[in-house]
Amino acid sequence: MELQFEKQSCRCLSRAAREVKNEEVTQELKLPDGMPDIGRVLATWGQVVLRSKEWRGDTAAVSGGVMIWVLYAPEDGTAPRCVDTWIPFTMKWDVSGADREGTIRAMPLLRFADSRALSARKMMVRAGVAMLGEMLYPMEFQISRPGEIPEDVEFLKNTYPMRLPRQAGEKTFLLDEELMVPGAAPGVDKILSFTIQPEVTDQKVMAGKLVFRGNGNLHLVYRCAEGKLHTWDFELPFSQFQDLDEELSGEVRSDAAIAVTSLELDPGEEGRLRLKCGLVCQYVIQGCELVELVQDAYSPVREVQPVMEEISLPVVLDQRKELIYGEQTLPGKTGQIVDVSFLPDFPRQHRTGEGIDLEIPGMYQVLYYGEDGTLQSAAARWEGQHHLEAAENSRIGAAVLPQGRGSGTAGADSMELRGQLQLDVDATAEQGIPMVSALEIGELQEPDPARPSLILCRPEGESLWSLAKRWGSTVGAIQKANGIIDADQDSMLLIPVS
């Protein structure tokens, strides 16, 4: 006779894809009428902006663009000029293995931005965008639990604590600020570029809400009335909350990432600046589930054959953040540094016998006044190395977030450049766990009154469950007969049998 177990449905999120896409976008940019001809291109700044996300069928797509500012020295020797443009992009991921549509998390990075003159009135603008796309969709898994089972059947149950992704969503909000460069700094005559690096500094889940705080770190490059270039940084704090789909019990964690959806900076009266910046917080909520499974069964008085199944769960093994410091030397360059950009890329992974080695590429871009007082620019590649301990069956996700702006110091014959980034690491695995889903049960057998109890030496490492099953007893009977409290104690045991 077969006895089926009852099925209990549990929900979580499964990952359809998590992959970095790289795209290089280009545009021919013509100078507006009235601007002087191009002499030298000096610097290029960029800001990645997300516009839309769409999951349709077996394809997920993220669209947006790069705001570009190009600074050039005119051929006629007048003050440097700046032109700006917008270059759109669309990136796509294959999600053909997903059962249904779900939620997209898109984490962008600007890998590089540069320009070169094609003619006196035209330049080629180029930008590299990296996007870490993560696609999550809801799934259900079934846990088998015993229903009405004969009392003589013994069960081996194990409880597994598992951290599973349970909810995903996003919260959009706007930073609307009036700013002013402090009086001690040169006043703003012309804004050349403005970029922002948003970051979450604190997050927690409480009372069915995700509460998060952070900063929008605005970097301004401008020209003062005397014609010199300067920079200034504004730290714009924010605090937001988002209602969740359901309130989870037990230990709950959140994983939030911020991206820019719009950016405007307009000059106002008396040196004031009006900033409007759209942001989106893309989050995943993880709950710690205690999953209890029946993993074996037998009876001392009848034949019992367990029917086994395996459930596979997308378990979060670990999450952590680390700071990475980057340094680079530019030999033969010296002068007064105006601006340093540090643009890291997503890490490349190489699995070794001891874990995973990360290669973290990056780019430094420097704008400076040379010893003769002319504006000049330079660039240098940087390659960071980092090692992670990782289980063989785990999948490692590694993302980077620049921390503040790059900085530099000019010496007698070189420049020392410094940058800092945050490395976000998560380890996940598809964990398969066997469980009993049904029992093939035979007829009751008459006990043998002549069968004696046993006294035997317990083999090292063998469990009471294994002994009881092998000799037709029960764990409870062995414990009672031997006065056992600790399941690991005693080597000589009396085994009562039926």
Contact call for residues 406 and 417 (beta carbons, < 8 A): yes
Q: How confident is the model at residue 490 (pLDDT cuts 50, 70, 90)?
A: low
Is residue 162 included in any domain, yes or no?
Answer: yes
Neighbours of 61 (CB within 10 A): 16
Share of the chain above pLDDT 90, in %: 66
Q: In whole numbers, what is the pLDDT of the chain averaged over residues? A: 91
Is residue 143 included in any domain, yes or no?
Answer: no
pLDDT value for 118? 97
Question: Are 334 and 400 part of one and the same domain?
Answer: yes
Sequence-distant (≥ 6) Cβ neighbours of residue 206 within 8 angstroms: none
Give yes or no for residue 319 having a pLDDT over 70.
yes
Q: What is the distance, to the nearest Å, from the Cα of residue 298 to the centroid of all Cα atoms in its chain? A: 45
pLDDT value for 417? 96
Range of the domain at 18: 1-136
Confidence (pTM): 0.87
Is residue 474 included in any domain, yes or no?
Answer: yes
> 263: closest CA among 232, 223, 230, 217?
217
pLDDT single digits (tens) 418-433: 999 999 998 888 888 8
Is residue 278 included in any domain, yes or no?
Answer: yes
Q: Which two structure tokens, joined as six digits, stand for 137?
A: 């969709």
Sequence-distant (≥ 6) Cβ neighbours of residue 486 within 8 angstroms: none
Helix H or strand E encompassing 270: none
Share of the chain above pLDDT 70, in %: 97
> 185: closest CA among 273, 255, 286, 79?
273
Residue given tokens 């007698």 in the structure block: 412
Pick the last residue of a domain from 67, 102, 136.
136
Higher per-residue confidence, 289 vs 362 = 362
Is residue 442 included in any domain, yes or no?
Answer: no
Is residue 149 included in any domain, yes or no?
Answer: no
Contact call for residues 240 and 212 (beta carbons, < 8 A): yes
pLDDT value for 120? 96
Is residue 173 included in any domain, yes or no?
Answer: yes
Contact call for residues 437 and 311 (beta carbons, < 8 A): no
Question: Are 129 and 22 part of one and the same domain?
Answer: yes
What secondary structure letter does DSSP report for 271?
A: G
* CATH (domain of 484): 3.10.350.10
Q: How many helices (H) and strands (E) does the chain have?
A: 2, 23
Higher per-residue confidence, 316 vs 367 = 367
Give yes or no for residue 210 having a pLDDT over 80.
yes
Neighbours of 225 (CB within 10 A): 10
Pick the last residue of a domain from 81, 105, 136.
136
Is residue 142 included in any domain, yes or no?
Answer: no
Contact call for residues 186 and 226 (beta carbons, < 8 A): yes
Question: Are 398 and 474 part of one and the same domain?
Answer: no
Q: How confident is the model at residue 416 (pLDDT cuts 50, 70, 90)?
A: very high
Question: Are 271 and 164 part of one and the same domain?
Answer: yes
As for how many domains the chain has, the answer is 4
Q: Which of 12-21, 43-52, 268-277, 468-477 has the highest mean pLDDT?
A: 43-52
Question: Are 17 and 128 part of one and the same domain?
Answer: yes
Contact call for residues 219 and 196 (beta carbons, < 8 A): yes
